[in-house]
Amino acid sequence: MSLHQITWPEPIVRVQSLSNSGITAIPKQYIKPPSSRPSLAPPARDLHIPVIDLSNLVSADPSLRSETLGLVSRACREWGIFHVVNHGVDHALMGRAREIWREFFYLPMEMKQCYANAPVTYEGYGSRLGVEKGIKLDWSDYFFLHCLPISMRDQKKWPNLPLSCREVVAEYSNELVKLCEKLMKAFSVSLGLEEDYLQKAFGGEEVGACMRVSFYPKCPQPDLTLGLSPHSDPGGMTILLPDDQVSGLQVRQGDDWITIKPVPNAFVVNIGDQLQVLSNSKYKSVEHRVIVNSAKERVSLAFFYNPNGNILIEPAKELIKEDQPPLYPPMTFNEYRIFIRTRGPCGKSQVESLKLPR
């Protein structure tokens, strides 16, 4: 199977339809091997990811500014994931975006099927990641669309219903781009690079951005499957707007999986593989997954801020020292993303397998 196939290797089944059909046992394609199943027992320890107040990055108080940069730096090095509050995005817009997408998934199936996606670009309404025949599937449907560069933004591929969907997606995307630009500066400075270093490395005006909205239907056997299998995000960084009612996102800490509890009006920021490469592994992309449950469905919006697909991404020269050689070879993001698009989510195996011998 290759990404140029115009169709998927097996007929697509919408997980939402499966869930609505009232089945009490899930089909075998969704049943994970025992070692990959989630433990739904309450966690042995309650750990929280950092919560960072971004308004402090522009405080009049220089010590508060540098303290906040320190928090960002530590969160990116030690966790690869953190919450941000006072991030500048209107809370009402966040709520509107989530509700519009919930309504989209509630539309009759025929209307959603007009947007059915294909492996070539993944744009549209989808129900699987990976094109290999026979792979285990995740318990979710999604809608994937491109926001940037403008040349890849094709609003005809965005839903025309609910009526304000395209407008809200455009406004939401513009606001999230501003937030990402702010974070890119903070990341650059906290790595000891010029403030605009990372933005330029991503292609300046030509950066990429796309969005995946996931719908995790209720699942009759949540202990046997996952909403989204373990992976690190292949791109630069991800700004996740989780469901405000239902948790499900988990991050790996050693052998444990920690559930992220929603923080009101916050976004979850997570570091992707391209920032791990550019920072020569000073920043770590975070391995995460999603669990499902039998009581409530869950909707989340993941906004991916990526390097332009055609630019070579490699460890920043400024971070290379005699005792800190480059850990990764140069590669474009278009080449890099083929892996997850072909094989589906596979933990952190891709970025780890690229490591150069030292």
Q: Where on the chain is the footprint of ligand OGA (CB under 6 A)?
A: 212, 214, 228, 233, 240, 242, 248-249, 288, 290, 300, 302
Residues 297/215, Cβ–Cβ less than 8 Å: yes
The option from ligand OGA, Ni ion, none interacting with 249 (CB < 5 to 8 A, set by class) reads ligand OGA
Task: Write out the E strands in the chain.
Answer: 51-53, 81-85, 124-126, 141-148, 208-216, 228-231, 237-241, 249-253, 256-259, 267-271, 288-290, 298-306, 312-313, 331-332
**Beta-carbon contacts of residue 153 (< 8 Å; ≥ 6 apart):** 146, 147
DSSP 122: -
DSSP 129: S
Closer residue to ligand OGA in complex, CB, 279/300: 300
The option from Ni ion, ligand OGA, none interacting with 76 (CB < 5 to 8 A, set by class) reads none
Q: Which residue has the CB atom at the shortest distance from Ni ion?
A: 233
Q: What is the CA radius of gyration of the chain?
A: 20
Closer residue to Ni ion in complex, CB, 123/233: 233
Residue 205 identity (one-letter amino acid): E
**Beta-carbon contacts of residue 230 (< 8 Å; ≥ 6 apart):** 36, 252, 287, 288, 289, 345, 346, 347
d(CA 231, CA 238): 13
User: Least distance in Å: CB of 275 to ligand OGA?
Assistant: 15
Residues 45/159, Cβ–Cβ less than 8 Å: no
User: Least distance in Å: CB of 178 to ligand OGA?
Assistant: 21
Tell me the backbone φ, ψ of residue 75, rounded to 5 degrees: -60, -40
The option from ligand OGA, Ni ion, none interacting with 203 (CB < 5 to 8 A, set by class) reads none
151 CA to centre of own chain: 22
The option from ligand OGA, Ni ion, none interacting with 340 (CB < 5 to 8 A, set by class) reads none
User: Least distance in Å: CB of 60 to Ni ion?
Assistant: 36
User: Least distance in Å: CB of 43 to ligand OGA?
Assistant: 17
The option from Ni ion, ligand OGA, none interacting with 94 (CB < 5 to 8 A, set by class) reads none
Tell me the backbone φ, ψ of residue 183, rounded to 5 degrees: -65, -35
Would you tell me which residues interact with Ni ion (CB under 5 A)? 233
The option from ligand OGA, Ni ion, none interacting with 214 (CB < 5 to 8 A, set by class) reads ligand OGA
DSSP 252: E
Closer residue to ligand OGA in complex, CB, 168/251: 251
Closer residue to ligand OGA in complex, CB, 222/242: 242
Closer residue to ligand OGA in complex, CB, 175/233: 233
User: Least distance in Å: CB of 52 to ligand OGA?
Assistant: 19
User: Least distance in Å: CB of 169 to ligand OGA?
Assistant: 16
- Token pair 């169709």: residue: 7
User: Least distance in Å: CB of 162 to Ni ion?
Assistant: 25
The option from ligand OGA, Ni ion, none interacting with 240 (CB < 5 to 8 A, set by class) reads ligand OGA
The option from ligand OGA, Ni ion, none interacting with 290 (CB < 5 to 8 A, set by class) reads ligand OGA
Closer residue to ligand OGA in complex, CB, 193/269: 269
Task: Write out the E strands in 254-354.
Answer: 256-259, 267-271, 288-290, 298-306, 312-313, 331-332
The option from Ni ion, ligand OGA, none interacting with 212 (CB < 5 to 8 A, set by class) reads ligand OGA
User: Least distance in Å: CB of 305 to ligand OGA?
Assistant: 12
Q: 3-state DSSP: the chain helix, strand, coil percent, rounded to 5?
A: 35, 20, 45
User: Least distance in Å: CB of 284 to ligand OGA?
Assistant: 16
Point out which residues pair with 146 in neighbouring strands. 210
